[in-house]
Structures are given as C-alpha cells and as structure tokens.
Structure 1
Amino acid sequence: MHKFAYLILNLLIGSYLFVSPSSSLQELTSKLEKYSSEFPQEKIYLHTDKAHYLPGETIWLKSYLVAGALHQPSPISNNVHIELIDTNNKLITSALLRSENGLSDGIVILPMELAPGKYLLRGFTNWMRNFGDDFFFQKEITVLSYDDTQKQTAPKSSSVDLQFFPEGGHLVDKVATRVAFKAIDSNGEGVEINTNVFDDQGKMIAELTTQHDGMGFFSLIPELGKNYTAEINNKKFELPKIEAQGFSISVNNAMEDIMRLTFRSNEKTTEKDKMNVIIHSRGLISYAYPIDLSQNIAFQNIPKNIMPEGIQHITLFDAKGNPVVERLVFVKKDGVVVAVETDKENYGTREKVTAQLKVVDSKGNPVQSSLSMAALDINQTIEDKPSTTIASNLLLTSDLKGYIKNPTHYFDPNNQEADQQLDLVMMTHGWVRFNWESILKEEYPQVDHLIEKGINIKGTLVDQFNDKPIENGEVTYFDNSFNPPVIENVKTDKDGRWEIFNVIAYNTKPISFQGATKKGKKFVSFKFDSLNNYVAPVDWIKSPLPIELNQEELNFVEKSKERLQIDEAYDFDTSLTVLESVTVEGKRYTEDQKQSAYGSGDNTFSFDKISETSRLARNPLEILQGRIAGVQIAGSGPFMTIQIRGASTGLGAAAAPAIFLNDIPTDLQTVLYIPAMDIERVEIFKGPSAAVFGSIGGAGVIAFYTYQGVKVSSKPSEGIYATILKNAYQGNREFYAPKYDKFEPEHIKPDKRVLVYWAPKIMTNEKGEATVEFWTTDLETDIALDFQGITQTGQTLTDYKTVTVKKNK
C-alpha cells in the first residue's frame, strides 16, 4: 500500500501534525487504491514531425506508451493502434506498432487523393478501450491542397456561449466564492468579453473581463433566493442556483513550496466537524487528513514536495464519505531536464550539424532516457513551435475534459503569466479519469477489451481440393527470423477453426504456416480471418479551415509544390505508377547476363541505383513502383499487383505478366517475400522480346535476379503457406536523409527538404549523453530542433533549439 501522510494542519503555529486516520478516511483511501491497482491506466503520446501536410506526404511519429500515476514506460500492452480519421468519422488509414518498453515509432502515409481538411490522428491500446475514448491520444492534423483551393468550412459564428464554474463546484448562501467563467464561440474557441453580472434587482455585482483565451474569474458572496445573470449580445446567461447549505474551497497556488487551502461553510450547514480531505494525482494519494469545519472556515498550508508534477485533485468529503467539494490544481516541479548544444550556431549549406544531448536530474546526476527529434525548416512550415509536447499532453491535456488550445503555452518559461492562466484552465475543465461516486460504490468499468501482448491470428484449415474444413487437423506456425526460431502447434476444431495467440509478425516479412490433416496429409489450404481495425465514434472539436489561406499557408503550399516537382524530375518516383513517355534504362551487367538464359530484356533496372537505406524493409515491387516506363504497379505490401502496358498478345488487358526468379518460373507472392536488398536487377520483356518464353510470355515477363550468393527458393515447400499479414505490426521504416561528406550521384538533386531530419530512437547512455548528426539542405534558413522524450522513471523531457544556415561563400 502507498504511504500516505495523514495530517492536520494548524495555521496558527505554521506546522502540521501526523494523526491516526479515521475509519472513514481509511475506507476512502483503500477504495481509491483498490481501483488504481486493479485498473492501471495507460496513456499514449505521439510525437509527430509536424502538424500540417499535403496529400501523399508522410507523417513520421514516435509513440510513448506509459502507465500508472508516475507515467513510467508501460509493461502492460505491446500493441499501439494508430488511426487517421476524417470529420465524418471515416477511417482513412491505420497502423499497428509494436511497443517494447513503452517505445515504438512508425509512419502514416497520406493518400494522394486525400481531400484538404481537418483529420484526427489518434493512438490507443486495446486495454484503454475499457475506459472510453477520452483516454485516447488525439491530435488534429491539417491537410492542405496542392492547387491552393481548400475544402472550405463555414466561417466562425458570432454566437457566444458563456459558462460559469464556481470554485469547488457550488454557490452556497453567504459563502464567499471565486467564480471562473469561459466564453467560447460555436467552434469552441475562446473569445474576449467585457460585461457585468447583475442580480435580479438589476444591481451590478461584478465585472466580467476575460484574462486569457476567453477565461477569467470574479468573486461573489451569493445570497439564497437571488438569481445572477450576465448578458452578451442581448442573450442572458444564468449563474448556477444558490444552495442553502454546503461548502466551498479557495486555493492559493502562487507560492513555490506551499499550497494554501481555505475551506468555508455557513451556519445552516450541519455535521461539518468530521470532514476529510484527500489530495491525489492520477490516483496516487499525496495527503489524506481529517478537517473540522465547525467554525465555518479552516486553513491549511500543504507542502508540495511529495506531490508528483501535474494535476492535483483536491476533494472534501462529508462525515458520510460523500464528496462535496472538488478542485483541480496544477503543480510544476524542477526535475529532470535535457540540454542540447550544437557544435556551431551558424552553418553553411550541406554542412553537418552535430547536436550533443545531456539529460540530468535536479542534482546534476545523469539520467538514461529515450527521445525523438524532428529537425524542421521553419521557413517552410506553418508552426514555428509545436502546439503540443509530451509534457503538455501527459501532464495536462490527457487528464482533462474539453479542448485546450495550444497547451504548450502554459509550459513556456518565457510566459510570466503561465501559472495564473493555467489555474484558469484548472477551474474551467473537468477531470476525465474517474469520479469519486463510482469509486465509492465500487462501480468499476466493465473489462471487455483485454491486454494485447501480440497479434492473435486465426483462420480455417480446409481441404485443398474440395474446400471443406478439416477437423482435428494440425497447424504449425514458425518464424525463423527469431533466435531460437518460434514454433507453435495447434489443433483445429470440428469446423476446421484454429487460433494462435501473441504472434509477433510484421507487414514487411512473411510468416509461415504448415498444415496437415489428422492423417498427416498436407494437401491443405489456409483461410485467414482479417485483422479488423477498431473505429469508435469520436466527438472532437474541429477548428475550421480558413476561407482563404494566409501567407504562411500559401508559402507552405508553394514550397511543397516545388519539392514535389523536384522529386518528379530527379527521382522518377511520383504519384503515378505508369510512365509512358520516359524510358528508364539501367546499367547493363554483362558478366551477370551471360548467366541469364534469356539474355537482356527491353528494359533493365538496377537496384544499385537505389540507396541501401531506401531499400531497407521494402519488397522489390515497392522499389520498382513508378520507376520503369509502361510498368503499372498497384496496391501495397503483400497485396501489390503488376502489369506491363502494351505487352499483351491476345490474353486481355488485365493479364498479369509471367514472373521469373533467377531464370526459374515462380509467382509474384514468392518475389514479394524477398527483401529488396537481395535483388540485383530486373529485366522487363514485352512484345517480340518475350517470345523466347513461349506462350507464358504473352502478357510480358518480369525477371528478377538476386545478387550472387543469395540463396532463395522459387518454389514453396509442400504443405507450407507463407503470408504477409496486412494488418500486422508496421515494419521498420528508416528516414532517408543525404550525407554530404562524400559525393554520390544522387547529390545532383536540389535539396529543399522541409523535414531535414527525423531521429526517433535517441537513447542516452549511462552518462546521460547522446549525439545526433545530420546535414543541412541547400537553403538559407533556420532549422528548428524539436526534442521530446521520457526517462525510465516517467519524467517528461522537452527542448527546442534553432540553428541558422547561410549560403557558403
């Protein structure tokens, strides 16, 4: 059990005394502890490279999965689900990441046909689904259009909604109370107001003037029987009704080490001498103590030293254990910090940047941690700084209800009013994690979604000839990429059904299954169930796209179009997969072609033209896509198809070409299982050139050749079925960035990248140090280095630094 400080504080002597907790207080704390231990909470934060994109671009992201009150890397789940959803709640694309020690990284590729608009990027685990979508990570992504025209939304409405939030939740007769308010428009954005509060006799009681983002507060001593209203644009807004009995709380959080609490009541309120106060953060109790309000007021000075950083939940309970007053307070701490130093402040174009990281605690001791970094050309982006960070998400927005605009604003060390503004956020937003009423009644969430440690694969084993289910058959799953190899056997039921649990499978490499009847015959086939994605209804406040783009947005689109034109001109790798007006001929490999039984094709494509980094974790068709004239490749991953335009000789336009591997006929699936790193070249035969293959060359021939020494099989073994699971874990994708330390042929391409570098796997050593290196581009600009991360004990890390690039003289 956690150790709680049970104390009663005495303002007169400025000290506090430890006392034995009452039975009611023990019951309250034990029920909260039971809930926290039986229903551990997970959170996800996704660090993305930026927030604005165009169709066809890639979202690079790092996932931080944490659990518990202290945000330690989660040991609970291994599966992180990523979704991109449009404003109609339609799933655009998804990915599954394998989280190890709470860490994973991946990509989301935006379709070229994606309409401009707002999209929601969200991340969650299956376990998190038991507690509602409020627990999911959510980030709004803006997609603009290459043609400068946007999917316009309605302009902001002039209507204003005004909400009141008494400190502690209630207005009680003749009890002084601070009342926070928030004024928002129809899009949920804060608006400035300047009005007054009147009672029902027309007397002005208080002035209402917004202090920050539509929020502010005023003081009030309410009187029973009176009604209080404020008026905006001829519309009246009523304050909550006045209660005859009850309690209030006032919090002064301005002091560095002490939080001052004031509880009040009135003469009409009874049974107030045996109250209890509990202060917790994310379920971790810092203080639990009795309090006597028989004099209608009580003061406490609460030390902050044992409170974890983040939102503190203060609750006052009556003698029966009912929560009567609640207040949220944010506590900041000086803890672990990351400091980033670059070897220079100013760089030339195509010059190497070396950034040294040092992570230390408040005493200067080194701390091991994991970080990610996005290096962005801020003259080509819209946001100069990220609007959300791992600190603002884990410590603030993930625990609150409602929309919070630009949460990093409250963590900006240059914002001298950040603490006061953050307290307004605390007073105007509700707690999202749980409510005391459910905890006290032990009304716990129903667990319908289990913890995922891997992928559950299931399907049906059927007879190869008559397609009938095979009862009591045997299915063997094996993966030789692990050491030792993974092998698991299961039996089928009467319907031929089988399931294998917690498989670790990636969508970039095949996994193998072998099936047999109960008599050992292997003339069987597999039917796999699809791995369905979860898409739940989501209600998110969508900020509208502007009717007209501002200058920053126009600049972003123009620069993106320029980069696209460069890619089309130099990469031969565009959104089109058919190139009819360009013939791409690779270097001829005469020595190897002497070993080819069919000689040279009409086109030869050398895989040596593609950098090793670009070939990593990709199949051969992904490399060929869009790079050979007249060759049409569709689909993705294991579901890709290929055709040769103009090669058909009467077999029909949809006929697929014959596939050869090292001069041996094979099928396309076999080629898809071969890593692109193992392919040396591809020969394309069509028309008369394909006649040498006989009738099978009627739709053309694509011949793949591996490097010498690479052993591959063009024929699968009997009874073995190899497949790539489409919705398995996303395979590793390396971010490609050129290195200009030595000349390479591809360096003739102009370099105007907006994402200069993406480093998702930064790990500090035992000295708390790490190094990141990358090269600048061709542009005179400023490059922002956005570092975010977490320590092994759950402290968040952020740092932001810019370097300047000037033209070389």
Structure 2
Amino acid sequence: MRSHFLAAFSVLRPARSAGLALALSLAGPAAQAQFQGFTPTDSLSPAGRLARYEQRTPHEKLYLHLDRPVYLSGETMWFKVYAVDGTAARPLTLSSVAYVEVLDAQHQPVLQGKVALRNATGQGSFVLPSGLGAGTYTVRAYTSWMKNFGPDFFFHAAVTVINPAVASGALSQDSASYEAQFFPEGGNLVRGLTSTVAVKVTDKAGKGIAGAQGKVLNPSGAVVATFQTQRLGLGTFTLTPTAGPGAYTAEVALGKKLKISRKLPRVFEQGYVLHLDDTGPDQLAVTVSATTTLPETVFLLGHSRQQAAVALSAQLVNGRAQFVVSKAQLLEGVSHLTLFNGAQQPVCERLYFQRPTHALAVAVQPDKAQYTTRDKVLLQVSGADQQTPVAANLSMAVYRLDSLTTTQATAIDRYLWLTSDLKGAVENPDYYFTATGPEAAAAADNLMLTQGWSRFRWENVLAPAPPPFEFMPEPNGLVVQAQLLQAGTGRPRVGTLTYLASPSRITRLSTSLSDAKGRVKFEVPYLTGPRDIMLQTDAQQDTTCQITVLNPFSERYAEAVRPPFGLSARFQHDYAKRYLQAQVQNVFSGRYRNRYAAERVDSTSFFGRPDELYYLDKYTRFKVMEEVLREYVPGVLVRIQKGGYRLMVADKINQTVLSAAPMVLLDGVPVFNINHIMAINPLKIQRLEVMDSRYFHGLALYNGLVSFTTYKGDLEGFALDARVLVQQYEGVQRQREFYAPRYETDQEKTSRLPDLRNLLYWNPEISTTGAEARKLEFYTGDQAGRYLVVTQGLSSTGLAGSSRVVLEVKPAL
C-alpha cells in the first residue's frame, strides 16, 4: 500500500538512472510536476530499487458476488469471482486460480474449493452440508499471489446459515459488553500537542450506537473533553495531553444505567501530530505539529492503491507546518496522506475519501410492473458510462426477500473503492456513496479516522536485497506443491527430480526439480474435481525420500469482526417455513443439483503425436506382454538380464539403439521396475505409444518413451511401488449448472410438482456489448412475495457498478 509513497520521495533527487524515469511514470502527471522541487536527503534506497520493487508487486484484489446473504443448510451457495488490478480496478489476468473457503467462528474451514479464472473471472458453488450448524460464517477468497501480503488483503464476507434441526457449534462469540474505541488522528497522542481523537461505540452485534455520551478524564479525575457519537456510532473530540502514558480514561454512557470505561491510547513524549481540514470544494488543509523546535523539512505524500498522486514539502517553523492539497489531484476512493520527517521516515498517516464520480451504471428493466406465480420474467440489462453504453461483464441473482433477509452484501463498487482499503467491517457502505450534505461528509471523515490503516511493509523496500516472495502467481493453471525430506534426518532433498501423475486415459505427466528447501512445484491445469495424484522419484536411484503434499490454502486468518447470530423465538415460524421449503425443493429437484457443464478437454498426450501407435485390439492378442512387444513393436527392444527385464528404444533418426532405459508409463504414471510392467496382463492394455528418440520434458531427459494405456485409465489394479505417494487431491471445481424450471406450456403451469425456490435465478456470465441491451428470462415459482434482483460487474476499463431492482409476485388467480 505504501510503495509509491516511498518511490515518490526517491524521484525527488536529480535523475540518475532508468529506474528514476520509471518511478516518475508510475506516479502520474499530477505528482510528477510537484516532485521536481524536492531535495530530500539520501537516506532512502536508490530510486531504481524502489521502482523495481513496485514492478514486482502487482496489487491484486478479488471480489465475490454471492447469490444471497442467508442460506438454509443443504442449499447451494453460488458465487462469481472477479479478479481486478487493485490500483485501477481493471480486470487483472495475473492468476488463473482463486481459493475460496467458508470458515466458522473458530477459523476452521468447513468448505474449501479452487475456482478456475479465465479472463479475470470465474464461477463456483458449494453445497452446504445438511448437518452444518446454524450460525454466521465467513466466506473468504484469495489467490496464491495474495498470500504473500497476509490475510487482511483477502476478500471477506459474512453469510448466515440457518438450520433449526442442528444445534450450532459455529455461532459468533457475543461480546460481554458494548465497546468503545479511540483513534488519534494521524496515529498517536503526543504530550503538549493538540489532537483530534475519533471515537467509535458499538453494541454486541458490532452496530454503531448514535447518541452515546462520553467524557474524558485526566489522572486527577477532571473532565478535559466531552463527546457524543453521531451516525453509525462515530464521533470526535479534541484533546491536548499533558500527562504521561496511559493517564487518560474515557467514560461512555449508553442510556440511563449502562456505562463503560476505556483507557485512551498511550501518550508519547515526542512525536508529530497531523490534522486535516476540508476547507472547501477544491482544497484540503493539512496541519503538522511537532515537539521539535528545530527547523526541519517534512514531506507529505498522497497515494491511493499503490499509485502516488501528490507530493509536497514544507518547513517546520516553531514546530508547525501546513500543506494545501488540491482535491483534483487526489485519486478517487480512499487516499493515504502520509507524513515523512526530515529523515524521510513515515511518522503520521491520515485517510481521506473522495467519492468516485465515474461508475458503471447498470440498468435492469423488467417487462412488467407485477408478476404472478409461474409467470415469465423478461429483463433487459445494459451498462453505461455517463449514459454512453459500454461493454461489461456482469452477474445476476434473484432471490426472495423475507423476514430472515435483513442485510445486503457489499456491492462490487463499494468494495473496490472503499471497504477493501479499510480495516474491519464497514457498517452500511452504501451511505458513503449515496448521501450528500455536511452530515454525510462528516460521517465519511469519521469513518476514515476510525478505520484507516497502512498495510505496506517498508522494510521490504528498504532492504539491501528485497526478500523473495514465498508464493508465486498461478498464471497457467493450478500448481501443486510438495516437499521432499531425507528419511530419518528430516533434511530437505535438494536437486531431486520428482514426477507427478494422475491416472487417466489422457497421458499427462509433470516433473519438477526440488529447490533448496526441498520443495517441488507442478503446474497441473488439467486437474478438475477430486482426483488421485501420485508423486514419486526414481525408486531405483532414490530410496530414502519422504514426500509431503503442501496445503495450498492459507492457514493465516484475519481478525475480522463477525456479526453475532442466534435463533430468535419470534422468527421460529419463519425458520420452520424456510426449512420445509428447502426440504421440499431437495426432494423434488435434488436430482438437478449436480448437473455439470461439459468440459473442454485436450485429449493430446503431453508428448504430442507419438512415433508409433498401436491399438492392440487390431492385432492377435497374446497373453504375455513380452510376446506383444517382440511381435508388434519393433521400436522397443526387450532384453533379459540378471535383474530381470530391460527395455531399450531404437532411435530411428540416428539409426542406433538408445542404451539407457526409456521412460515407461502406465496410464501416465511412471513405472521404473520393468518386471512389473512385463507382468501385466496384455488384455488390460488398449493402447501402446512409443517415442523413438530422446525426449526433453522440462528438466528431464528421457531416452525414448513407452506409454501403456488401459481401457479405463485407472491402472487396472496395478500395484505401485510402496514408495509412491498416492493421495486424493481436489483440483479446480467443475462448473455446476444452475437449474430452474420453465413454465412455457399449460401442462407445465398446472404441474402438481411444488416450486418453492428461494433463489429464482442465478447467472454468473452476462456480457453486454454496449450496442444493445441484453435480454434475460426466467420464471417465477409458487411463492408470492417480493424478489430482489441484484446485478453487478465490471467494464473492461475498470468501471464497477451494481443495481438492485425489486419484483412483485402476486398469487395467480
């Protein structure tokens, strides 16, 4: 989050390298014009190093459009994944796999899945187990690359699961009391310097409490400040500390009887304080106060999502300095205003929110004002940028509104421009995009004071050699990682060639050489669904290697605030009704749950077209494999030595015989003991392929290749070497198809099969061309009521937008 911030100050020195020009180009024209007047000290690393660091850290974000916020156990959760460049919000094709999890209150994953990303989007689903306890769960999503920056960067969303039949073990832990938190503007309280302090007061559910009265007491018990919370439980007061660390206490009154007491943050003896004033429609004033009385040049950098926008310098005079920041130069969304001291060390930070003026306007137009049950719904969907039609990729969900659906998920534009850059959950993010006037501006400023943060690690930039990233992107498909250790010692096995295969009629094999930590990485874009994978080294050359497949899911968790959950007696009838509806749907429509879209499969073997291909059913069948090879396969020579059988391949190009053993495969799995291959019943083999020359496969070199394929591609009971690691591994999800009945004929409309769907429609792939509106159709079910149509998505230029439309469904006469 801070990389441009450092790069901006680096480029203030006279140009010395190509890295300097690159950093300037990244900063943008507004910042470039201001950078030229700076003459900072040489305490920072060279500009080229900062620019190179910025190049190697693309800012990736994920957003999940979940089909609804409330589920019954046993229902299917559908979702669409959007991968975007965190700076410009444009679709980003850095990763081809997203990792999605459903976590309980103890951060234990109850469901996990890998979703394939194509053109920066993907779609997936989870069938919630019928035994899943009622409660609030967290859905989180991330890529392999995002794991380098910690779980706070992951996408998080809270969902509610209702299961009246099973007691919950996943309930959120209710707070024992209400909470009050205090946040000094800029970061710290400093003795003798006046600070604005933001306050946030919340109830047990994490909701802000407006109207809470509070007072601040000094060590003597005297009241030195008072406050009252405003909208969403946020407020501010002014304090000039004169006492030492931990000396101030706040007392908050929540009604007539309830009071809470909290310590204010520590007071520092030395430091800096920053204060921001919105002085008008065009400018911000940033005032700096410091305990030092010596002259000092301080620097202010404004940056958003790793892009610098404003860089200014000022001189401290008697411990004070002021900056004037033009709002037009700040980027839309959340801006970080960070103060550097004379040694160019970050000492204060303040956030400012500038509401985006450009957004994707998503228009959804129903064909009727009102519908009946089992009625056809026709929607016209389009996207526009300031009334100019644009191409966009959208997703849509239509679900029933009832007493159990009390909250709405954060829309994609709200997430990308606001909540993803803040710490913790933001209550009612829609308010900051729609409300106007002084009260809305004050609320947005209070939000920036109470939930701002910086997540960039400066030590990584300033280090003499930037640390290597532990996790690399997956641009071409799923990557399986494993670790090789020496049996007995536990030391890493370095430089060991390792093979990964998954038995199949399509011959595929991956190889990898272990690194200094004994780790191997296999790119396996063909793995879908649960599959058996087999990892091994050459058992005839390596007999002491232990292989462990590494968990691809992150085991680090963010401490996110989770709304509490509890079954309420007044909703008992609603719980029972929804539960009955879900059970009925499962009985009559459950057979449609696991319908999957047809997969496009590349049936070519990894080695391409073989030099020799034999379908053994076309030949007279022998009962011994040796006879098959000797009679029908001239390119493979069979030799018998003291250790048993040996195979050699004739190199037809060079008219010679390759003396070293070839790679021998059975359904894609390497077999190094030829005696085991020769013991196979030939009647189990359908196809035999031969490569008649040396073949390079990654870092491996094969002296020819002989591939046997069984009829089912499942090894036909072949006994693998005991040293082969066999493990079930979940590949990327297969695409489950959403099913909804149609009522086009009178017979279908009068069918006695009940249709009690809560989710009427789910479409994760809606493409608008900009030329004309996209037409979508579906049918209502048997439940009258109000249905919410949620549509959201992205344009190719980075415009995010969302739309909500309510459909009225009346009972048919």
- Report if the CA contact (8 A) 1:8-1:19 is conserved: no
**Which residue of structure 1 lines up, in the alignment, with residue 306 of structure 2?**
283
- In the alignment, the residues of structure 2 paired with residue 517 and residue 32 of structure 1 have an alpha-carbon distance, to the nearest angstrom, of 44
Query: Residue in 1 aligned with 2:425?
Result: 403
Q: Residue in 2 aligned with 1:40?
A: 58
Shifted more, 337-346 versus 281-290: the winner is 337-346
Tell me the residue number matched to 1:504. 525
Task: Choose which of 224, 228, 244 in structure 2 pairs with 1:205.
Answer: 224
SS at match of 2:583: helix
Query: In the superposition, relative to structure 1, how do residues 615 and 6 fare at CA in structure 2: closer, same or farther (>3 Å)?
Result: closer
The structural deviation recorded for 1:759 is 0.9
The Cα shift of 1:137 comes to: 1.4
Deviation, structure 1 residue 730: 0.9
Give 3-state SS (helix, strand or coil) of 2:316's partner.
coil
Q: Give yes or no for the alignment of 1:342 onto 2:346.
A: no
Q: Does 1:73 align with 2:73?
A: no
Asked whether 1:96 is paired with 2:114, we answer yes
Number of matched pairs: 642
Aligned partners of 2:318 and 2:90: how far apart in 1? 43
Letter in 1 for 2:473: I
Q: Which moved more, 1:324-333 or 1:762-771?
A: 762-771
> C-alpha distance in 2, partners of 1:39/1:213?
36
Offset from partner CA, 1:585-615 (integer Å, 9 cap, x none): xxxxxxxxxxxxxxxxxxxxxxxxx88x974
Q: Which amino acid aligns with 1:215?
A: L
Deviation at 1:87, TM superposition (A): 2.5
Structure 2 Cα separation of the partners of residues 211 and 239 of structure 1: 19
Distance 1:540 1:434, change over 3 A: same
Q: Is the 8 A contact 2:115 2:122 kept in 1?
A: yes
1:257-406 → structure 2 map (5 Å cutoff):
258-265=282-289, 268-272=292-296, 274-294=297-317, 296-336=319-359, 337-362=361-386, 364-379=387-402, 381-383=404-406, 386-406=408-428
Q: Deviations over 1:317-372 (max 9, x none)?
A: 1111111221011111111322222222222222222222222223x333222111
The answer as to 2:809 corresponding to 1:792 is: no
Offset of residue 172 of structure 1: 3.8
Counterpart residue type for residue 564 of structure 2: P
Match in the other structure for 1:760:
764
Are 1:346 and 1:806, in contact at CA under 8 Å, matched by a contact in 2?
Answer: yes
C-alpha displacement at 1:717, in angstroms?
A: 4.3
Report what 1:429 is aligned to: 451
Written as runs of structure 1 = structure 2, the 5 A alignment for 1:82-231 is: 82-147=100-165, 156-157=174-175, 159-184=177-202, 190-191=208-209, 193-223=212-242, 227-231=247-251
**1:21 correspondence with 2:31:** no
Equivalent residue for 1:728?
A: 731
Judged with a 3 Å threshold, the aligned counterparts in structure 2 of structure 1 residues 166 and 535 are, in CA distance, closer, same or farther, namely: closer
Contact preservation (8 Å) 1:91, 1:535: no
CA contact (8 A) 1:251 1:259 kept: no
Distance 1:276 1:285 in 2: 13
Matching of residues 690-701 of structure 1 within 5 Å: none
* Residues 479 and 511 in structure 1, CA contact (< 8 A), matched pair in contact too: no
- 1-side partners of 2:519 and 2:685: how far apart? 26
Give the deviation of 1:563 after TM superposition.
Answer: 3.7
**Cα gap change, 1:19/1:779 in structure 2, threshold over 3 Å: closer, same or farther?**
same
Which of 455, 465, 469 is the matching residue for 2:478? 455
One-letter amino acid of the structure 2 residue matched with residue 65 of structure 1: A
**How far apart are the structure 2 equivalents of 1:154 and 1:45?**
23
SS in 2 for 1:73: coil
Give the direction of change, closer, same or farther, for the CA distance of 1:290–1:437 in structure 2 (3 Å limit): farther
3-state SS of 1:741 partner? coil
SS in 2 for 1:758: strand
**Is this contact kept in 2: 1:329–1:423, CA < 8 A?**
yes
The secondary structure found in structure 1 opposite 2:356 is coil
Please list every run of 5 or more consecutive structure 2 residues that lacks an aligned counterpart in the other structure.
Answer: 1-21, 253-257, 484-495, 541-545, 600-682, 689-707, 715-726
Partner of residue 546 from structure 1, selected from 530, 546, 566: 566
Identity of aligned residues (%): 28
What CA distance in whole angstroms lies between the structure 1 residues aligned with 2:773 and 2:226?
53
In 2: Cα distance, 1:492 partner to 1:716 partner: 32
Alpha-carbon RMSD? 4.4
- Letter of the aligned partner of 2:806 in structure 1? T
Q: Deviations over 1:74-116 (max 9, x none)?
A: 2211111111222333322211111012100010111112122
CA distance in 2 between partners of 1:734 and 1:289 (Å) = 55
> Are residues 419 and 246 of structure 1, via their aligned partners in 2, closer, same or farther at CA, if it must alter by over 3 Å?
same
Instruction: Give the one of 779, 782, 807 matched to 1:778.
Output: 782
Contact 2:500 2:522 in 1 (8 A): no
> Residue 237 of structure 1 aligns to which amino acid in structure 2?
R
Task: Give the CA deviation at 1:149.
Answer: 5.8
With over 3 angstroms needed to count, the CA separation of the structure-2 counterparts of 1:395 and 1:29, relative to structure 1, is farther
TM superposition shift of 1:152: 8.8
TM-score normalised by L of structure 1: 0.69
The separation in 1 between residues aligned to 2:416 and 2:795, in whole angstroms, is 13
1:443-468 CA-partner distances (Å, limit 9, x unpaired)? 856511222231346999xxxxxxxx
Tell me if 1:534 matches 2:556.
no
